[in-house]
Amino acid sequence: MERSFVKEIENLRLGAGDTFYGEGILAVTKALLQSGVTYVGGYQGAPVSHLIDVMVQAKNDMAELGVHVEPCTNEASAAAMLGASIMYPVRGAVTWKSIVGTNVAADALSNLASPGVTGGALIIIGEDYGEGASVIQERTHSYAMKSALWLMDPRPELTNIVNCVEKSFELSEASNTPVMMELRIRACHLQGSFLAKDNVAPDISSRKLLSEPAAFNYDFLSHPPVTYAHEKRKYDERMPAARDFIVKNSLNELSKGRYGDVGIIVQGGIYNALMRAMTELGLVDADGNCDLPLLTLNVVYPLVPNQIIDFGKEKKAVLIIEEGQPAYIEHEVASLLMQAGVNVFLSGKDVLPMAGEYTSETLLDAVGKFLRQHQPALGNQLGDQAYAAEIEELRKTATKKLRTPVPPRPPGFCTGCPERPFFAALKLVEQEIGKVHYSADIGCHSFATFPPFGFGNSILGFGMSLASGAGVRSFQKRRPLAVMGDGGFWHNGLLSGVASRLLNDGDGVLVIMKNGYTSATGTQELISSPGSTAKLRAAEQSATSGDQTIEDALMGVGVQWLRTIHTYRVSEMRSTLKEAFKSTFDGLKVIVAEGECQLERQRRIKPIRAKALAAGERVQSTRFGIDEDTCTGDHSCIRLSGCPTLTVKTSTDPLKTDPVAHVTAGCVGCGLCGEIAHAATLCPSFWKADIVSNPSRYERFKATIARIFTGVPAV
């Protein structure tokens, strides 16, 4: 019941001469099929989730081509898939969100980079860096450098991105080295077009099977003593081959400008932002030609020494535009120029921020400073300072009109989210037993760190919450609490958290949010998802085979204290939490908080309801509201719930000065507000109404009698 990608799948079928219209990450997906890829794997995460999602839903098309598609349980398993290309001449691609995903995949990447590959291997990285990022601010560049993996950073334009995907496979094969391609959020969601090619069915695939496996060759194993030889080949053979390929195929782009004594070296991914800034400075003509010489690096590692040296010659100053720290490119360029004896002033982090995304405004300021220092005649005519003054004046005007700063809008749980009631129950428990140490995790439940809940003492990785609280119990009286989702549990939590805690006879409380999907990454299917492929296959094979559920896995590794509670039963959840914290059982206590993701529930129910209504069938829905006369304006229900549809409005009673609670039309009828009112013994102002469409004759008769006695008109 995931999001449908019917339109996107149609784009994957385009052939030679057709024009593809769409966003960057889907252009990459199409480029993989045009490149004759044999297998594709990965772990979902913004901004690259669509790549795997689309291919999974296009399984029939993939089967026709013989392309194997595998949504992996984590990034390490995705990276390990590329082992197929070590000894076989097959092209493979995997994808994940960076930098967190690359951290998880690091072990497999190192062991992959050591022997290298025979077939082309491409790793597509969703480089989640900058002001729109949802993870820690680090870059993938360091992994490329330490393991000698080549790193593409394509200029954000669909034709160039597609070309870079296709050339990445060729580069990988020419140098026997896996290639990483980083795509920033803005590149992944960039809209554009390119001229498509026919999809290529690979020579070795699920439709064209090999009769025999590859012959044994110890040289392809990342194992001593050949690992030393691997390291020698990386830098004596594979890197020179890569540099030669980069030059011969013009992967990096050089443009000459009118002012040849100063120039700019820029990462490909930042090119669009730079052009926007240069346009504001009046340094780009109507055809997009820049007045300054530019070296655009579509390949940021390895750099080609002769390209850098030739660009720096006969220039008095060069500006390096590289996001983030450390300044890997700037340092390497400086080293190359110094060793070659090129006397040129190198500018970079002296005029650019040390950290953060380089927006057009940031680059406009930096280029202006650079040119005023090294090209005064040009720099003093730019007008960038006037532009900056104009922007500042606009900000002052906005502040004056708004009177107060615009309040922040942190992310929050969806309306009817089954995870919200758990945190309401936890707030009620803390009122009785006191504060508990809370190890948070990656996922929707991390929204509980925001108001009105404010839960969380640490977040250390996906599925790592239980592991991150392992040391806390040793110096605290009260048991620590860890929360993770079912996505985090299968990704990492079962081994790094549960198995480790059982191995060490550790105490503590773990709550697993079993909403049925990896919801924070786009509601992808899990092994424990309702109606998952694994469950359906098990049911077909044997009526007694059982489901591969979270509870089965927990009992299988030895968890003794286990409870499964539906999250909407706030009173029951509160009692179970109290029991877990106060239990005499010394060991891991696990509560599986069950409740289907509300987004998926709505996607599942709406088509069924629409079909039933169209057929004239009886359909019942539930709505909740608040009796304005009963509500006292205390708003405890809002502080405990935080539901977006539970808000306030001005009372119609002139004697009530405080606003009363109010349920908006966005209510999905989950019943949490009423559950909290009951569990917390709040005011009895909530009401519940069942709305019946296409009612039966008996129901119509009952409604008529009710109207006669109550005087309430029909809705």
pLDDT grade for 415, boundaries at 50, 70 and 90? confident
pLDDT grade for 75, boundaries at 50, 70 and 90? very high
Cβ atoms 204, 133 nearer than 8 A: no
State residue 288's pLDDT score. 83
**Rounded Cα distance, 130 and 135, in Å:** 10
Whole-number average pLDDT of the chain: 89
Determine which helix (DSSP H) or strand (DSSP E) holds 432, and give its type and residue range: helix 420-433
**Rounded Cα distance, 563 and 594, in Å:** 10
Structure tokens at 321: 């535009």
**DSSP code of residue 216:** P
* DSSP per-residue letters across 574-627: HHHHHHHHH-S--SEEEEEEE---HHHHHHHHHHHHHHHHHTT--EEEEEEEE-
Q: Which residue has the tokens 């409870």?
A: 563
Ranked by mean pLDDT, which of 86-90, 260-264, 275-279, 352-356 comes out on top?
A: 86-90
pLDDT grade for 140, boundaries at 50, 70 and 90? very high
Of 593, 561, 594, the closest CA to residue 580 belongs to 561
Res. 571: pLDDT tops 80: yes
State residue 3's pLDDT score. 61
State residue 537's pLDDT score. 43
Count the Cβ atoms, other than its own, within 10 Å of residue 13: 14
Q: What angle do CA 284, 286, 290 make, to 5 degrees?
A: 25
Mean pLDDT over 115-133 rounds to 91
State residue 232's pLDDT score. 95
Structure tokens at 270: 């930042």
CATH superfamily of 6-247: Thiamin diphosphate (ThDP)-binding fold, Pyr/PP domains (3.40.50.970)
Proportion of the chain above pLDDT 70, given as a percent: 94
What pTM value is reported for the model?
0.89
pLDDT grade for 269, boundaries at 50, 70 and 90? very high
What fold characterizes domain 618-710? Alpha-Beta Plaits (3.30.70)
State residue 600's pLDDT score. 85
pLDDT grade for 501, boundaries at 50, 70 and 90? very high
Q: pLDDT digit string (tens) for 676-711?
A: 666 666 677 888 888 888 888 888 888 888 788 776
Q: pLDDT digit string (tens) for 180-189?
A: 999 999 899 9
Q: pLDDT digit string (tens) for 511-525?
A: 999 998 888 788 888
**DSSP code of residue 284:** B
Asked if domains 253-402 and 618-710 share a fold, the reply is no
CATH 3.40.50.2000 describes domain 253-402: no
Range with the lowest mean pLDDT among 88-92, 174-178, 620-624, 639-643? 639-643
Mean pLDDT over 14-25 rounds to 95
**Rounded Cα distance, 390 and 397, in Å:** 11
Proportion of the chain above pLDDT 90, given as a percent: 60
Of 50, 69, 38, the closest CA to residue 11 belongs to 50
Q: pLDDT digit string (tens) for 376-407?
A: 887 777 766 777 777 788 888 888 887 777 77
Cβ atoms 91, 169 nearer than 8 A: yes
Could you tell me whether strands 68-71 and 39-42 are parallel, antiparallel, or unpaired per DSSP bridges? parallel
Res. 165: pLDDT tops 50: yes
Show me where the domains of the chain are located.
Answer: 6-247, 253-402, 420-600, 618-710
State residue 544's pLDDT score. 35
Residues 6+ apart with CB under 8 A from 341: none
Q: List C-alpha distances in Å: 594 to 512, 515, 567, 662.
A: 8, 6, 6, 28
What fold characterizes domain 420-600? Rossmann fold (3.40.50)
**Rounded Cα distance, 108 and 117, in Å:** 13
Range with the lowest mean pLDDT among 48-57, 161-170, 234-243? 48-57
Structure tokens at 301: 């590692």
